[in-house]
Amino acid sequence: MIKVVAAKANPDFSLDLRFDDGSLRRFDVKPYLDLGVFTELKDLPYFMRVTIAYGTVHWPHEQDISPDTLYLESLPIDDSNNEKSAISNP
C-alpha cells in the first residue's frame, strides 16, 4: 500500500502530497467539502491544519482520506522546480 509521507495544504483547498514512492502529486479536496465529516474542511484555517498520521492526511477532528484515494485521484506535479522542499513532513 502506498503511503503519504508529506503534505502541504493550499488555499485553493488542494493538497500537495509526497508519497513513499517519491512521487509528488496534487489532490483536489473541493469535491469532498459538502460530504459528511468533510464539511468542516470548508473552514480554510482548519483545512490548513492538515498533518500526516498512519500514512495518510489527517485533521484534528479525525477526518482523513484513504492514501489509495489520494494517489489515484490526484495529478502529478512537476518536481523540476524543487517543490520537494516546499512540502514538509509535519
**What value does the mean pLDDT take over residues 10-33?**
98
Domain ranges for the chain, please list them: 4-79
* HSE of 69, CA atoms in CB hemisphere, 13 A: 10
Q: Mean pLDDT, to the nearest integer, of 54-59?
A: 97
CATH class for domain 4-79?
alpha beta
| Of 79 and 17, more confident | 17
What pLDDT sits at residue 88? Answer: 58
> CA angle, corner 42, sides to 85 and 84, nearest 5?
10
- For residue 82, pLDDT over 60 is answered with no
pLDDT band at 85 (very low <50, low <70, confident <90, very high): very low
Question: Cell 495544504 belongs to which residue?
Answer: 9
What pLDDT sits at residue 51? 98
